[in-house]
Amino acid sequence: MKKIKQLSLGMLSIILLFVSMTSIVEANTAYRTFTEDGYGRYVETQTAYTVLDTIVKFDNELFSQAQDMKVGADGLIYIADTGNGRILVGDRYGDFVRSFGEDELTRPTGLFLSHDDKVYVADETNAKIFVYSLTGELIEEFGRPDSILFGENANFTPLKVAVDQRDNIYIISRGNSNGIIQINANTGEFLGYFAPNTTAVTAMTVFRRAIFTDEQLSRMIDIVPPTSTNINIDEKGLVYSVSQGQRVEAIRKLNVAGQNILETRVADDFPAAVEVGSLENIFVASEDGFIYEYTSEGNLLFVFGGQDDGRQRVGLFRKLSAIAVDEQDRLYALDQDRNQIQIFEPTEFADLVHESLALYQNGDYEASKGPWEEVIRSNSLFDFAYLGLGEAYFKEEDYDEALQAFRQAKYHEGYSDAFWEVRNVWMRENMITLIFIIIGLVVLVKWLGWLEKKYHYLKRIGGYLSTKYRMKFFNDVAFIKNMIKHPLNTYYSIQYENKGSGWSASFWLFILYVLFILEKYFTGFIFRYVRDGEYSLAMDTALFFGIVALVVGSNYLITTINEGEGKFNHVFIGFIYAFAPYFLFKPFIIIISNFLTYNEAYLLGLANTIIYAWVGILIFLMIKEMNDYTIRETFKIIFLTLFMILIAVLFIFIVYILVVQMFQFIVSVFNEGVYRIENR
Amino acid sequence: MKTVKVKTMIKVLIFTIIAGWFVFFLLSGDDEEMEITGPDTPVVTDPSDDDESLDDGEEEIPPIEEPEQVEIDEEELEELLEEQESLALVIDSKQNTINDHDFWVENEHFELYLKEENLSIILREKSTGSVMYSTVDDPIGSNQTWQNFVRSGIVMEYLVDTNIVVYRADMYSENPEKTVSKTENGFQAEIYYPELEIGFNVSVMLTEEGITVDIPQDSIIEENDRYRMASIYVYPFLGHTLLGNREGYMFIPDGSGALIYLDDKDGKFTQPYSAMVYGENVGIDDPFVLSLFNNMDPFNDPEKIIAPVFGMVHTDNDIGYLGIIEEGQFSARLEAYPNGAILPYNWITPKFIYRQVYNQPTSQDTGTMVVRQRDRNDFDIRVHYHFVAAEDANYMGLATTYRQYLIDQALFTVKEDEFNLRIDLLGAEVEQGLIFKNTVPMTTFSQAYEILTDIKNNGADNILSIYKGWQNNGYYGGMPIRSFRPESALSDGMTVQHLIEQLDDEDIDLFLYHDALRINMEELGTSRHRVMKKFNKRTYDEEVYGKVYRKFNYLHPQSSVNIMETMLDEYQKEEIDNIMIGGISNTLFSYSEGNREVDRISTKRHYQSLIDSYSDSFNLLLEQPFAYLWDQTDALIDLPTRSSNYVFVDEDIPFLSLTLKGIAPLYAEYVNFQANQEEFFLQMIEQGLNPSFLITYESPAMLMNTNSSHIYSSQYERYQDMIQEYYQELAAVHAQTNGSVIVDYQRDGLVTKVSYANGVDVLLNYAEQPNTVNGHLIEPLSYKVVSSE
C-alpha cells in the first residue's frame, strides 16, 4: 500500500513537471477574432484560439527563413529549414529529434509528408524534388521532366510539393503559369498540368486584345495568370491550392478534374499556406499574419491573428509562411521572419463550434441542434450557427423556427425554401377564405363599374368639382393615365395642348422617388440587396435627383443643338410621364415580393423586365416625338446624351478636385505661417 | 433713390456667408476633415517606440524599425560574465569601500555606499548582507553612448532645437559639473552641464524601507534656448543583471502584473517593454491604429498601467525592491529591457518626460512639421525604492509592501471586503433608421426590476447592479449625459426613480453609469461644450469603427467638470444616491488650449477634484480606476485579471489582487466575453474577485446594427442558471476569506495555492488531470478551500 502511494506520488510529480512547461492561463489576446455574418461581413466573436506555446528552437538547433512545416501523424514537427538547407524534426515541446538532408538540400522551400510515410522536399535551387524516409534516408529524386508536353521553355523551380494517395506528385513551380505540375512518383512520368489559375476577363482586357499587337500582348503581365502560392492534399485526395493576386480565386478546393468546388465569400489577398483539419476544415494562413478557418464548404468560421508592427505581443506574426494542424486540433503557425512557431489551441467556445459542426456535417441534424443552440447562447451574432440550426429545424419540418433561424443567418436559399413551406401550409388552411375574398373583390369591382355606368356618380362629382374649382393641377396629375394606352397622343397633348405641367411632373417625380426608396428598402428579404440596418437615405436622395437632373438636362441640351423642337418643360414632363407603367405596377411588385420565393423568382424578373422595357420604349418615343426626329436620329441623340453625361460627370469631378486643391493650398499656407510665427 | 434688387441682396448674403465660413475655418484651424493621416510620426523619445501610423487604405506595412543592437564580442562577454560572477552578492559585514564605492550612511536596516564620480550607489541589507548595485563597472561593447549610460546613476536626455533626435547627457558625457554634499541621511548632488547650460539637483535619502530619490523641478536650470531637457532616467541600472547569470525577475505592472525572468533570452527580443504610467497620452502620442482589417481594428489594446510601481527581485541572494513613483507619475514611462534588447543586460527603470516633440500637420493631407513642446511638464521627480529581503524577496513581498505603503501613506483607507454579485444592465442603444435613428431598448426599467428580483429570489442575495445606457438616446447616442433624462422607451410603466426605490426595498444597489469623458459630436452637432484638442491643435478622435458612429471625441477637462457639476445637482434633485463614473477614471491626456500646452497633471487635477466632490455626495464607483483614485471609489470595478501577453513576459501574476484583496471589494471583468469560462472562473476564485455579468433582457442579436455590436452574448435567459452557480460557489469561498488579506501565493505549473491571513488556503488546479497539493487531491479544472487550523 505504501509502495503504491509512493509510486502515485512519483507519478504525480512527473505530471507536475510535465505540465509546468505550459503557461498557466492565457492572457488577454493581442488580436481579436472575427467570424463572417450572413452577408459576408466580419463580426467580432469570442477568442477561438489562444497561444499555448512558442517554439524558437529545437534544443539548440535554430531555424532560419523556414518556409514550410508539416506535423506528422506521430505529432512530430517537420520544418523545411530553408536558410540552413536541411529538414529539421522536433517535437512540440521544443526537443530536437533529428535533422537530415544537409548533403543534398540547398534551399528547401516545400515539404510534404505522404500517406506512405515518406518526406517529399521541394528544393528551389537544385530544382529537384527529393524523397526521404521519415528517418531521413534519401530514397529518390525527381528533376525537370523531359517530356515534350512539359514545354520547352517551361520553368521547373519547385517551391511547394504535395502527394496524393495514388502517388501522384503535385508541384508548384515558380514562374510556371501552366498549372500545377503532376508527376507519377512510381514511374517518374510527367502526367500533365493540373488546374491552372485563370485570369478573369475584364472589359479592359477584351479591349486590349482587340487593339494590341501580339508583341504588346505578350508584354502584358496581367494576362498571364499567377502561379499558385501553396498546395495541400487531404485524406480524400482533394487538392487545395491558394494563390495571391487580384483576379484569381484565392482558395481553391480541386476535384480530380481540376475544378474548383469551393465557394468562399471572404478571403485574404495574400494567402501563404493552406491546411486541412480534422473536420475537413480548411485553415488558410495569410502572409500578413491572419489565420482563417473555413468549413469544408467555404463558410468562414474564424479569422484571427495579424501583423506584428511593433506591438510585441503573442499571437501576431511578421511573415507567416506555413500552418499545420495536429491530432488534437492544435494549430502550428510558422513565422519565417521571426523564426518561430506559435502553437494555438482552441478555446472552449471553438470546441463547442467544432462539436456542432461535426454533428452537422455527419448529417446528424437532430443531435446538432442542442450544440448549435448552445453556440447561439454564447454568441447571438454567430450567423453560421443559425444556419446550422435552421437546417436542423428544416429537417424536422419545423418550418416556422427554420424560417426564423434562416432569417437570422441571412441565408436566402434556406429562407426561401422554409418560406415556401410556411406559405404552403398557410395557403392550404386559408385557400377557401382566399378564394371567397377574391371572388368578393371581383364582384365588388364589377358592381361599382356597373353603378358608375348607370348613374355616373364619379363623373358628376368630377364635373361639379371642375366647374367650381380650378382643377388644372389634379387634371394634369391624372393625365398620366393616358400614357398607358395612347402614348403618342399624350406626348402631342403635352407639347401642343398644354396638358400636364411642371408641377404635376414634379409630383410624379416625387412619387418616383418614394417608390425608388421603397423598392430599395422594403422589397421582400429574399430579393433585397440592401443589408439589414444599412440606410443611406441622404446618398440615395442625392443620387436619385442628381441622375434625373443629369439625364433630363443632358438630353435637353443635346436636342437643342440638334434641331430638336422640345421645350425643357415638355421634355421634363415627358420624361417623368414615361414612367407611367412603373407607377402602375411597381407598388404591386414591391408588395408581392414579400410573398414570393425563389421558385417564383422568374415572375418577378419578368414583371420587372416588362416594366423597364416599357418605360424605355416610352422614353424613346418621347425623344422622337417631342423633337420630331427620325428613328435614326433618335438613336444618335441617345448616344450623344450618354456621351454628354460622361463628359459632365468628368467635368464636375475635375472642378471639384481643383477647388479642393486650391482650398487646401490656402489652408496650408495660412497654417504653416501661423505655426512658424508661433514657434519661432 | 436707387432701389436695391432682391437678387443683389441674396448674392451679397451668400458671398458673406461663404467668405465668413472660410475665415472662420482658417482661424479655428480645425475641422473634421483636417485630421492627420500623415504616415510619418518621428520616433523621438525612445528608440523602441515606433509609432508608425498608416493610412487606412494602404496595404503595405512599413518595415519595423528595430533599435540598433550594441555589438558584443563573444570573448569580451565571457570575461564580463566571469567578472560579474566575481562581484559579491552577499557581504557579511560593513565595509569601508565596496567596488570603489565609499561607505556613506547607514540606518537600522541598510548601508548606503556611494561613488561620487558617477553617483553610483550600492545598497547593503544588513540582516542578510545582500547587496544591490546600481551601475555597471566595466561596460560592454564599443558604443560610447551606451557605455556612459550604463555607468551613470542619472541620465538626462535633451533636445536640440526642433531636432527630433534626442541626445544624452549623463555622468560622463557632456562633462557635467558635480557637487556632492552630505545630508542627514543621504546626499545631495548638484549637477550642471556648462555646455548645455542645464542643471538640476538630485538627492538620495536612505530611509527605513530603502531609498528615495528626488529631483525637484525648482532646482532645474535651463538657460540656453537651444538646449532643452527632454527626459530623465533615475537609476536606470539599479539591480541590473547580465544575461542569465543571476536568478530572479523584473516585475512590470502591465494589467494584473507580469514578470520577466532574468534568464538568458538568446537575443529573442529586440525591443523593450515601454509604456506610459496610467495609459498612453493621446494628446501627444499618435495612437497605435494601423493596418485596419476590413475597416475594423483587428487588435485589442494592451492593458494600461494602473499603479505606478515596478520591481526587480534577485532570488539568488534574496533581495529586491518595489519602485514606487511618488511624484511625477503622470509624466513617467516605464521601461523594462530584457537582455538582448540593445544591451545584454536586464534592467528596469522609470523615465520621466519633460518635453516631447510632436507632429504639427500644416495641411489636410501630407504637410507636417515637427514642433517641440514649449513648456516643461510640471512635476517633481520622487521615486521610492522599497527594498525587500530574505523571505520577502518575491512578488508576494512586493505586493505586501505596496499594500502596506498605500495604507501607511493614507493613500487608501481599508474598505469592507463585501461580496456582491455584479449585474450590469444595458438599457438602450440606437441604430440607423431610414430617416431617424431608432432606439433599441434592450432592458427596460421594469425588465431590470424583474431580472434583479428574479436573481435575488433564486438565492443570490447580495447584488450590485450598474445600469448603462439609461439616458436619452441610449449608451452611445446620449453621450455626454447633460441632464437627467432617462430614455423614454425604457420607462414602460416604471420610471428609473421608481426602479431604484423598489430595488432599494429589496436591498439591491443600483448605480447609474455616467461616462464623463466622451462626447458624441455627430449626435450633438454643435455644442457649447469644448472638445479636447491635441498639442497639435487637432481634435482627438477616438476611432471606434462602430456601425452607427465611427468615432467619439473627448471632452475638454473643464467641460467635463462643468457638465458633471450641473449633473451633481440634478442627481441630488432626483435623489439618486449611487453613481458610477467611467471614462475619466482611467484616462489622462495632455491637451492644448488656444496656444497653451496643458500637461496631463492638470487634467488629473480637474478630474480628481470632480471625483472628490462626487465621492462626498454619492456612493461612488469608478470604472477600472487608476491608483490615485482608489481611495475615492467604493469598489474596484473591472480589475484586470491578466497581462497584455507581451512576447517577453514569462509569467502573469495577480499583483493587483494580491495587493488589494481583503482591503477592498474587487470586481472582475465580464464573464460573458471569456472564451474559456471555466478557467476564468478559477481565476476569479484564485484572485478573490467578485463575478460580473453584462445582462440584457432582449437578445443581443438586436444590437447587431448598433455601436454595441461587440456585445454578442448577454441575454438573461442564457445566464440565469450560470449566475446562480457562480454566486453560490464564489460566495462560499468568500465567506471563508472575508476581510482577510493574501499572505502567500505559490504556483507550481498549473497548480496554485493562495494562503490568506486567517489561515485559509485556496488550492486550484488548472490542469486537465487531477493533482495533489499539500495532500489534497484536486479534480481537473477545480479548486478546494482548506483551513489549516
pLDDT at residue B675 in the model? 81
Query: Are the C-beta atoms of residues A183 and A190 closer than 8 Å to each other?
Result: yes
Quote the minimal CA–CA distance from A131 to chain B in Å: 33
| Dihedral over Cα of A193, A195, A200, A206: its sign | positive
| Interface residue B365 vs chain A (CB under 8 A) | yes
B361 vs B216: which has the higher pLDDT? B216
> Where on the phi/psi map is residue B486: left (φ > 0), alpha (ψ -120 to 50), or beta?
beta
Residue of B58, B293, B677, B695 best to disrupt the A interface, most CBs of A under 10 A = B293
* Per-residue confidence (pLDDT) for residue B421, from 0 to 100: 93
Burial letters A633-662, b for 16+ CB under 10 A, else e? bbeebbebbeebbeeeeeeeeeeeeeeeee
CB contact under 8 A, A313 and B644: yes
Q: Which amino acid is at A532?
A: D
The residue-averaged pLDDT of B672-693 equals: 90
Beta carbons of B299 and A17 less than 8 Å apart: no
Q: Is the CATH code 2.60.40 the one for domain B740-789?
A: yes
What is the structure's pLDDT at A60? Answer: 83
Q: What is the pLDDT of residue B53?
A: 36
Candidate from B61, B291, B675 with C-beta closest to A48:
B675
Shortest distance between the Cα of A232 and any Cα of chain B, in A, equals 26
More confident residue, B284 or B364: B284
User: Which residue in the block uniquely carries the three cell numbers 492544435?
Assistant: A330
Residue with cell 501522384: A168
Q: Nearest 5 degrees, angle CA A38-CA A40-CA A46?
A: 75
- What is the average per-residue pLDDT within B558-587? 91
Measured CA distances, B313 to A118, A614, B268, B319, B384 (Å): 51, 85, 22, 6, 15
Please name the residue of chain A whose CA is at the shortest distance from the CA of residue B766: A24
Q: Determine, for residues B645 and A29 on separate chains, whether the beta-carbon distance falls below 8 Å.
A: yes
CB contact under 8 A, A379 and B769: no
Task: Count CB atoms within 10 A of the CB of residue B18.
Answer: 10
| B618-635 exposure pattern, b = at least 16 Cβ within 10 A, e = fewer | bbbbbbbbbbbbbbbbbb
pLDDT tens-digit profile of B183-225? 988 999 999 999 889 999 999 999 998 999 999 999 999 988 8
Dihedral angle, C-alpha A264, A265, A266, A270, nearest 10 °: 50
Chain A partners within 8 Å of B66 (Cβ):
none
Q: Which of A12, A31, A309 sits opposite B52 (nearest CB)?
A: A309
pLDDT exceeds 80 at position A75: yes
User: Is B144 an 8 Å CB contact of chain A?
Assistant: no
Query: Is the pLDDT at B637 greater than 70, yes or no?
Result: yes
B536 touching chain A per CB within 8 A: no
Contacts of A62 by beta carbon, 8 Å cutoff, 6+ apart = A56, A339
For residues B335 and B640, give the distance between their C-alpha atoms in angstroms, rounded to a whole number.
21
Interchain contact B775–A (C-beta under 8 A): no
d(CA B127, CA B559): 55
Q: Determine whether the interchain pair A23/B651 forms a contact, defined as Cβ–Cβ distance below 8 Å.
A: yes
Cβ-defined contact of A377 to B715 (cutoff 8 Å): yes
For chain B, percent of residues with pLDDT exceeding 70: 91
Determine contact: B89 vs chain A, CB below 8 A.
Answer: no
Q: Write out chain B residues lying below 8 Å of A9, CB-based.
A: 772
Sign of CA dihedral A447, A450, A454, A458: positive
Contact B298 A31 (CB under 8 A): yes
Q: Residue B641's closest chain A neighbor by CA?
A: A27
Asked if A534 and B705 come within 8 Å (Cβ–Cβ), the reply is: yes
B85 pLDDT exceeds 80?
A: no
Predicted local distance difference test score (pLDDT) of residue B348 = 94
pLDDT for residue A246 is more than 80: no
**pLDDT on residue B364:** 64
Closest CA–CA distance from residue A307 to any residue of chain B (Å):
8
Q: Do A56 and B645 touch (CB under 8 A)?
A: no
Candidates A5, A9, A25, partner chain B, best to mutate (most B CBs within 10 A): A25
**Does position A588 have pLDDT exceeding 70, yes or no?**
yes
Percent of chain A that is helix, strand, coil (3-state, to 5): 50, 20, 30
Cα–Cα distance measured from residue B775 to residue A378, given in angstroms and rounded to the nearest whole number: 37
Q: How far apart are CA B254 and CA B301, in angstroms?
A: 12
Chain B residues 693-712 with a CB less than 8 Å from chain A? 699-701, 704-705, 709-710, 712
pLDDT surpassing 70 at residue A17: no
Q: Which residues of A touch B374 (CB under 8 A)?
A: 679
- The answer to whether B162 faces chain A, any CB pair under 8 Å, is yes
Tell me: the pLDDT tens digits for B408-452?
998 898 888 889 999 999 999 998 887 888 899 999 999 999 999
pLDDT at residue B42 in the model:
36
Interface of B with A in 289-348 (CB under 8 A): 290-291, 293-294, 296-300, 302-303
Domain boundaries, chain B: 74-242+261-393, 516-629, 740-789
**Rounded distance between C-alpha atoms, residue B563 and residue B590, angstroms:** 20
- B29 contact A CB<8A: yes
More confident residue, B324 or B536: B324
Q: In the predicted model, is pLDDT for residue A15 greater than 50?
A: no
* Best CATH choice for the domain B74-242+261-393 from the list 2.30.30, 2.70.98, 1.10.10, 2.60.40: 2.70.98
The residue among A396, A356, A390, A394 whose CA lies nearest residue A372 is A356
- In B, residues 710-729, which contact A (CB 8 Å cutoff)? 710, 712-713, 715, 718
Mean pLDDT value of segment A320-349: 91
Q: Can you give the pTM of this predicted structure?
A: 0.84
Confidence of residue A18 (pLDDT cuts 50, 70, 90): very low
Confidence tier at A408 by pLDDT (50, 70, 90): confident
pLDDT at A222 over 90: no
Chain B segment 254-273 residues within 8 A of A by beta carbon are 255, 258, 266, 268-269, 271, 273
Size of interface A-B (CB pairs under 8 A): 226
Structure confidence at residue A547 as a pLDDT band (50, 70, 90):
very high
Distance in Å, alpha carbon of B517 to nearest chain A alpha carbon: 25
- For residue B4, is pLDDT > 80? no
pLDDT value, residue B69: 65
**Given a cut of 50, is residue A324 above it in pLDDT?**
yes
Pick A27's closest partner by Cβ from B59, B294, B652. Answer: B652
The answer to whether the CB atoms of A9 and B752 lie below 8 A apart is: no
The reply to whether residue B367 touches residue A34, judged by beta carbons under 8 angstroms, is: no
Q: Which residue ranges form the domains of chain A, and what is each CATH number?
A: 29-346 (2.120.10.30), 351-455 (1.25.40.10), 471-656 (no CATH)
| Chain B residues within 8 A of A311 when measuring between CB atoms | 288, 299, 302
Question: Quick one: average pLDDT of B603-619?
Answer: 92
Chain B residue whose CA is closest to A62: B266
B window 375-414, beta carbon within 8 A of A: none
pLDDT tens, residue by residue, B288-340:
556 677 777 888 888 899 999 999 999 988 999 999 999 999 999 999 999 88
Write out pLDDT tens, residues A485-499: 888 888 888 888 888
Nearest Cα neighbor of A339 from A52, A53, A62 is: A62
> Which residue of chain A has the CA closest to B65?
A310
| pLDDT given for residue A21 in this prediction | 38
DSSP annotation of B788 reads -
**Average pLDDT of chain B, as a whole number:** 85
Contact flag A20-B699 (C-beta cutoff 8 Å)? no
Q: Which residue has the higher pLDDT, A59 or B232?
A: B232
- The CA-atom distances, in angstroms, between B41 and each of A668, A672, B157, B363, B734 are 19, 18, 19, 15, 50
pLDDT-derived band at A8, boundaries 50, 70, 90: very low
| Residue of chain A whose alpha carbon sits nearest to that of B272 | A312
Report pLDDT for A497. 85
**Phi and psi (nearest 5°) for A649?**
-65, -45
Q: Give CA–CA dist B206/B37, Å, rounded.
A: 50
Average pLDDT over residues B573-579: 90
Q: pLDDT tens digits, residue range B137-161? A: 877 766 788 888 888 899 999 998 8
B6 touches A: beta carbon within 8 Å? no
A148, burial (CB in 10 Å: exposed 0-12, middle 13-18, buried 19+) = exposed
Q: How confident is the model at residue B745 (pLDDT cuts 50, 70, 90)?
A: very high
Q: Which pLDDT does position B158 carry in this prediction?
A: 92
pLDDT at B167 over 80: yes
Query: What mean pLDDT comes out for the span A290-310?
Result: 90
The three state secondary structure string of B429-447 is EEECCCCCCEEEECCCHHH
What local confidence, expressed as pLDDT, does residue B776 receive?
A: 87
Mean pLDDT over residues B490-500, rounded?
A: 89
Quick check: B676 and A312 CB within 8 A? no
Do the beta carbons of residue A307 and residue A318 sit within 8 Å?
yes
Type of residue numbered B656: L
Residues of chain B found within 8 Å of residue A15, distances taken between Cβ atoms: 767, 769, 771
Residue where the block lists cell 437627467: B484
